[in-house]
Amino acid sequence: MSSVQEYVTPETELDSLSDAQRHALAQKIKDEQTANQPLISPIEPIELLEKEYEDNPGFLGKIKWLKEETRFIGIRRARGDGDCFYRAFGFAFILKILRMNDRPLHHFVVKHVESTLSLLKQAGFDESVYLDFYDPLKKLLSRMHSTDPETKELNEQLLIEAFNEPEISNSIVVYLRLLTSAFLKLNKDEYTPFLFSLEDDFSSGGPPTMEQFCSNQVEAIGKEADHVQITALSKALKTSLDVAYLSRANAPPETPASEMLEGEVSLGEGGGVAIPGEDAEARRAARENPDRCDIVRFEVEGGQMMEIGTMLLRPGHYDLLVDAPSPASPEVEIPAVSAS
Amino acid sequence: MSEARLRRVNKEIADCQNDKASGILIALVDDSPFHLVGTFPGPENSPYEGGNFDVDIVVPDGYPFQPIKMKFITKVYHPNVSSQSGAICLDILKDQWTPILTLKSTLMSLRSLLCSPEPNDPQDAEVAKHYLSDRADFERTARYWTEIYANGSESARPPNADDDAAALARRKKGVKEDPALVAGLKLEHVEQFVNMGFERNAVIDVLKRLNYRGANVRNVTDDRVVNELLGI
């Protein structure tokens, strides 16, 4: 196979390249852009995110909102390779079990994760292939509360290291993809109505079948997760999570000045009727704040095993948000302090 | 690089070798299990029936998290295969790759691609044009290519030896390919312009470019062909 360098020079017209060459070029650019990013980063203070969007008032306002109105103080980035949702999910999932430090819960989680293997089998995946991807997840989970003196107990630092080993990290991503796919296929009556045709991938028009959707959008490496996939994985692992949407799309439309009638009092500062109670006031302010971030909850109704916190979604990319430590969990890292 | 990759590839090679029913063969090019040649029989009820198709396979460092690289060694007349380089346009070899695909299942997908071309996402635009303008005529040429290029192939061979070996097999059989037929053109069409005094290869080039094939012939006037030949 010829490498990209052989046919692309600064003078090359993009139109002159074949489909395969264009794909190789796009892949190479993507690889170059992301190769230096860790697969899962250490916690960074949320202020770094503000700096990133210095010149983007729309986004900046929402980040400030996240910082001031919610309890998020940091961000843990996942590499922007299209696998970020699954990688961040896998990491947050194991981290949560680690932090809860609760032997019966750990035992319950291990049993449940093991039981998901049968979903993959029922969905028709080849056991000899998917067991390879399950193995690294199982191994990490077995490094907690182990009775075997030879086992090296997992801690946060070792977990970050493991998630930056491509072999381990990618295997877990693949297992979560297959589990998502299996869950969707086994519940296709419920989920098929939610499949929307994606213009780029389904030129034939009309929504895809569940089989097509799963092979094109779930099992394929590098394909980002959307609402349907998140719901499925959350249910399959009995794990709730929140997703904060950082995008311009959900900002309320600006009211054109011409529509304001003379003498009309605009709602906002000093306007509106005061709602008694500080808390209600704060909630009202948050609702009316144009910088408010939509936070969507993926709640497992009945039988929830745990919740793994909040992901930050920017168009096409997921990262993990880090809560301020609450008095109940004093062991949480505080990046602002450790940074100096 | 990783042990897991080596273990998986070796297992997949063994799987193919143990499975006689699929008709898929895998052979090592040298000592490395990461450079292989796969061979499969052309699908029945297709212009590729009766041929054996060799595919060059490279297992990348990131396998199975990166797609296997495959291209045809055997020349194939198909909209999604480059008639020059053997490069393949197939989604699972690009952005639809999933790590549950194996050497065998990927070769099977390649085989079914032969039965169901996607002319709207072509690798070879000329062949796709031929396919879209006259399906029966396209199939005639595809069958001719199968006969000429894919019959001499008996088993998996390293890519470099292929050209010589296939040519040798053809010479033995006394078959010599005609560039006009290889290009999907009718001999009488080519002769018609050769008789006007033009060089045969130039005629073939121009007729190929103008898609002077099957039902499309009536859309291309003689004047147009002559002008092209004269470089006007």
> Tell me: the pLDDT tens digits for A123-147?
999 999 999 999 999 999 999 998 8
Kindly report, residue by residue over A5-53, the tens digit of the pLDDT.
555 666 777 777 766 677 677 777 777 777 788 999 999 999 998 898 8
Considering only A103-107, A127-131, A318-322, B175-179, which range has the smallest mean pLDDT?
B175-179
Question: What pLDDT is attached to residue A334?
Answer: 47
- The pair of three-digit structure tokens given for residue B130, joined into one six-digit string: 């031929």
Q: Is residue A265 part of a domain?
A: no
pLDDT band at A282 (very low <50, low <70, confident <90, very high): low
Q: At residue B14, what is the residue type?
A: A
Does domain B3-156 match CATH 3.10.110.10? yes
Q: Rounded to whole angstroms, how far apart are CA atoms A219 and A154?
A: 29
Contacts of B4 in chain A (CB under 8 A): 132, 167
Mean pLDDT score across all residues of chain A: 81
Do A18 and B58 count as a contact with CB atoms less than 8 A apart? no
Question: What pLDDT is attached to residue A322?
Answer: 94
Question: What pLDDT is attached to residue A247?
Answer: 75
Q: Is residue A10 part of a domain?
A: no
Q: Is residue A269 part of a domain?
A: no
Do A219 and B100 count as a contact with CB atoms less than 8 A apart? yes
Q: How far is B123 from chain A (nearest CA, A)?
A: 7
Question: What pLDDT is attached to residue A67?
Answer: 87
Q: Rounded to whole angstroms, how far apart are CA atoms A28 and A3?
A: 10
Kindly report, residue by residue over B153-198, the tens digit of the pLDDT.
444 444 444 555 555 555 555 567 788 888 889 888 999 999 989 9
Instruction: Report helix angle A84-100 to A127-141, nearest 10.
Output: 40
Kindly report, residue by residue over B103-139, the tens digit of the pLDDT.
999 999 999 999 999 998 899 999 999 999 999 999 9
Question: What pLDDT is attached to residue A10?
Answer: 66
pLDDT above 90: percentage of residues in chain A: 53
* The residue to which tokens 């088993």 are assigned: B155
Do A216 and B96 count as a contact with CB atoms less than 8 A apart? yes
Question: What pLDDT is attached to residue A281?
Answer: 57
Which contacts qualify for B136-140: CB closer than 8 Å, 24 or more apart?
B136/B214, B137/B184, B137/B213, B137/B214, B137/B215, B138/B77, B138/B184, B138/B213, B138/B214, B139/B47, B140/B47, B140/B184
Do B99 and A1 count as a contact with CB atoms less than 8 A apart? no
- A-B Cβ pairs (cutoff 8 Å, strict): 56
Neighbours of A72 (CB within 10 A): 23
Contacts of A219 in chain B (CB under 8 A): 98, 100
- The pair of three-digit structure tokens given for residue A172, joined into one six-digit string: 């877990």
Cα end-to-end span (Å), chain A: 49
Q: Rounded to whole angstroms, how far apart are CA atoms A36 and A32?
A: 8
Nearest by Cα to B90 from B62, B105, B109: B109
A222: domain range?
18-249+275-338
pLDDT at A191 over 90: yes
ipTM score of complex: 0.76
Structural domain spans, chain B? 3-156, 179-230
pLDDT above 70: percentage of residues in chain B: 89
Nearest by Cα to A88 from A72, A102, A77, A96: A77
Residue A95, domain CATH: 1.20.1300.20
Domains in chain A, number: 1
pLDDT band at A2 (very low <50, low <70, confident <90, very high): very low
pLDDT band at A292 (very low <50, low <70, confident <90, very high): confident
Q: Is residue A151 part of a domain?
A: yes
pLDDT band at A184 (very low <50, low <70, confident <90, very high): very high
Query: Which residue of chain B has the CA closest to A124?
Result: B100
Q: Rounded to whole angstroms, how far apart are CA atoms B84 and A2?
A: 14
Q: Is residue A11 part of a domain?
A: no
Question: What pLDDT is attached to residue B169?
Answer: 58
pLDDT at A257 over 70: no
pLDDT band at A1 (very low <50, low <70, confident <90, very high): very low
Catalytic-residue membership of B16: no
What's the CA angle centered on B158, arms B154 and B163, to 5 degrees?
70
| Contact residues for A274 (Cβ-Cβ < 8 A; gap 6+) | A281
Q: Rounded to whole angstroms, how far apart are CA atoms A316 and A224?
A: 7
User: Which one of the listed residues B57, B70, B89, B180 is annotated catalytic?
Assistant: B89
Give Dmax over CA atoms of chain A in angstroms. 78
